[in-house]
Chain A
């Protein structure tokens, strides 16, 4: 075992832990709570409800791998959904333009935050903190009352379902219902795949790891550190714009409270998925599993009858705590083994 651990990279070790825990958790839920968790739709509902978060978490992972942090993604979700909602309903807008708005908000955020972080050397935490404040405040300036979007083509897109072939379950009336996913899930999975390929197989992807791992050696390798950092924030914010739109597509409403705490959920998912805040270590597949773990534990807690609001917070924190301690202990152990 110890030999194997030694041979594994940090990233793979952390990923392995995540995957094992997630699988155990889901199997445990099937065994102990049965019923719902054996239905494929339960799993797909988790995906449907968290498609936006998956994209946000991917964005967060990228910045974290590069050694930064971005806590503005939740605020951006609110801003994107409110802006698009107001545009669609109050200005009779059409759907493609609303998507463009989401992308533009992301782009603008990425340019400003990226510039401030990479070229002016301001701490990413403070920059994105201001970004979060700005987004939340701006959202209420755009419109402060929550409302559901009634725009027909948007609603049609929101209700569009993609049946998953060969999966489904029988309902109480004995009718077979096919399992489905929403469009957002397809977008989220595409983002995961593209990000995974980019980080693994492109020069740019590797330079993100290099900059996050060790700036000095990255410089010596001839990587433009500033540009890489700038790009990481740019991509992150654009992804956050997309994630915000996917979230908006799922909830279908503009509200100031949209995406509340999403930044912390994205960070937590990344951590559970094995991304380290110190930079240089992380994996997009891990992040995906991280989001799913987080959502599954919430689902388990809710259906176990622990519906009091406080249980969700406490279990997520407990899970985060366990993961962090396992990670920290294993990393320390590995360091010792390496020294030998």
Chain B
């Protein structure tokens, strides 16, 4: 009797866990880690070395994952809000990163595309704030089309998707500024003396801010309400137009932060390549997090875990010497497997299968 009970409760617990939204990305994460553990435990080795400047740096595949996954995690935050409130996705984030990055360099360099060390026009902070404002303005433009003109998000953001990289090239007159100031490289690399890559700190900071916003404001609740039913949320005194618009502006801010990291990594920019296809990865992160792409209820942390799953997948594939151009093919297969297993119909079927076997056992 007691045995049966405990078995039941374990099953219950397991069932509950499986039903939890965050289960899917975490399971995927564990699966990938397990895969690496079995085939090459060396994947987990982290070493403390020194870089060319003689500063201590941590390196290893896991460090690469949390380092390179930072931009994606930051974007996933904004994308989750947009998805929840508007029931659509912003496909212009890659292009917007190009714009924000280009603005950043333009403000820093002015017309001189090769400023020597210490020759920057303004401080990096000022340039960053300006690029934030620009990115938020473009976010607001997207938001306006979606919220006021009631255009579906994917279509509305298609405009900026098409124009973004062109605008970015235009901002810098199609020149490719290179910043030689080492300080500028800190945001995408290492701060001297700290062995953990800076993007990790930036990503964590963004997550903390997002967590605080969710905890202390009603933004999360409101955007869910708007996403689930716009007219009833209006009847309840919310302003769906404003909330939708706001989520796009927030995504704009996330874009600016991601752009800072991206541009800092290279100390330069390439308009047609920077953050290419990152919008697809960001949307994928949201979907892997088990969030409905049609809006409504969301789980921010699941999206963030989803982002790191994608990066882990990329790093794993790189490890097995998959050339970077062929990477998408493998990624597609894994994505399809993940999505198929998290599809409601499939889960239902699996659930039914389990019930049947349990019943048979009982019988």
Give A contacts to B, CB under 8 Å: 69, 116, 119-123, 125-127, 129-134, 136-138, 140-141, 144, 256, 264, 267-268, 271, 277-278, 308-314, 316-318, 320-321, 324-325, 328-329, 332
Known interface pairs A122-B339, A134-B333, A313-B164; 6 further A-B residue pairs with C-beta atoms within 8 A, sorted by A's residue number: A121-B343, A126-B284, A127-B336, A127-B339, A136-B329, A314-B166
The 8 Å CB contact of B158, one of A138, A264, A311, is A264
The distance from the CB of B114 to the nearest CB of chain A, in whole angstroms, is 21
User: How close is A275's CB to chain B, nearest CB, in angstroms?
Assistant: 10
In the assembly, what is the distance between CA of A204 and CA of B340, in Å?
A: 28
- Neighbour of A324 across the interface among B89, B145, B161, CB < 8 A: B145
Instruction: Name the residue of chain A whose CB is nearest to the CB of B337.
Output: A130
Chain A residues positioned under 8 Å from B167 (CB to CB): 310, 313-314
Among A137, A309, A310, the residue within 8 A (CB) of B331 is A137
Assuming the A-B contacts A129-B280, A130-B336, A310-B170, are A324 and B159 also in contact, with contact meaning beta carbons closer than 8 angstroms in the complex? yes
B287 at the interface (CB under 8 A from A): yes
Which A residues lie within 8 Å of B165 (CB)?
Answer: 310, 313
Query: Given A268-B162, A320-B159 in contact, is the A122-B89 Cβ separation under 8 Å?
Result: no
| Interchain CA distance A125-B287 in the complex, whole Å | 10
A218 to B160, CA, bound (A): 35
Alpha-carbon gap, A19 to B159, bound state (A): 21
Tell me, rounded to whole Å, the shortest Cβ–Cβ distance linking A289 to chain B: 18
A123, A264, A328: which contacts B161 (Cβ < 8 A)? Answer: A264
Residues on B with C-beta less than 8 A from A136 are: 328-329
- Within the assembled complex, what's the spacing in Å between the Cα atoms of A308 and B172? 13
Chain B residue, CB-CB nearest to A267:
B158
Q: How many residues of B contact A (CB 8 A)?
A: 46
- Cα(A332)–Cα(B148), bound, Å: 11
List 5 A-B residue pairs with CB atoms under 8 Å apart, sorted by A's residue number.
A121-B344, A121-B345, A137-B328, A309-B166, A317-B160
Residue contact A316 to B323, C-beta cutoff 8 Å? no
- Given contact pairs A140-B325, A268-B158, A320-B158, A130 touches B293 in the complex (Cβ within 8 A): no
Contacts of B160 in A (CB 8 A): 317
Residues B162-196 near A (CB distance < 8 A): 162-167, 169-170, 174
What is the minimal beta-carbon distance from A261 to any residue of chain B, in angstroms?
8
Query: Which of chain A's residues have a CB closer than 8 A to the CB of B16?
Result: none
Is A126's CB under 8 angstroms from B293's CB? yes
Interchain CB contact (< 8 A) of B329 among A126, A138, A268: A138
Query: A120-B345, A267-B158 given as contacts; is B170 within 8 A of A314 (CB)?
Result: yes
Stretch at the interface among B104-112, B149-157, B224-232: B149-157
Among A141, A308, A317, A318, the most chain B Cβ lie within 10 Å of the Cβ of: A317
Q: Are A120 and B163 in contact (CB under 8 A)?
A: no
Are the C-beta atoms of A264 and B162 separated by less than 8 Å? Answer: yes
Q: Does B117 contact A (CB under 8 A)?
A: no
A278 and B88 alpha carbons, distance in the complex (Å): 11
* Chain A minimum-CB-distance residue to B153: A277
Other-chain contact of A133, B150, B156, B159, B332 (Cβ < 8 Å) = B332
**In the complex, residue of chain A having the shortest beta-carbon distance to the beta carbon of B327:** A137
B35 at the interface (CB under 8 A from A): no
Q: Which residues of A contact B169 (CB under 8 A)?
A: 308-310
| Distance from A56 Cβ to chain B, minimum over Cβ atoms (Å) | 15
Report yes or no: A133 in contact with B329, Cβ–Cβ below 8 A.
yes
4 smallest CB-CB distances across A and B, nearest first, come from: A137-B329, A313-B166, A317-B163, A310-B166
The B322-363 residues at the A interface (CB cut-off 8 A) are 323, 325-333, 335-336, 339-340, 343-346
Report whether A133 and B328 are in contact in the complex, using a CB–CB cutoff of 8 Å.
yes
A278–B162 touching, CB < 8 Å: no
Residues of B within 8 A of A129 (CB): 280, 283-284, 335
Give every chain B residue within 8 A of A144 (Cβ-Cβ): 323, 325-326
Residues from 297 to 331 in B contacting A, C-beta threshold 8 Å: 323, 325-331
Interface centre among B329, B331, B346 (most CB of A within 10 A): B329
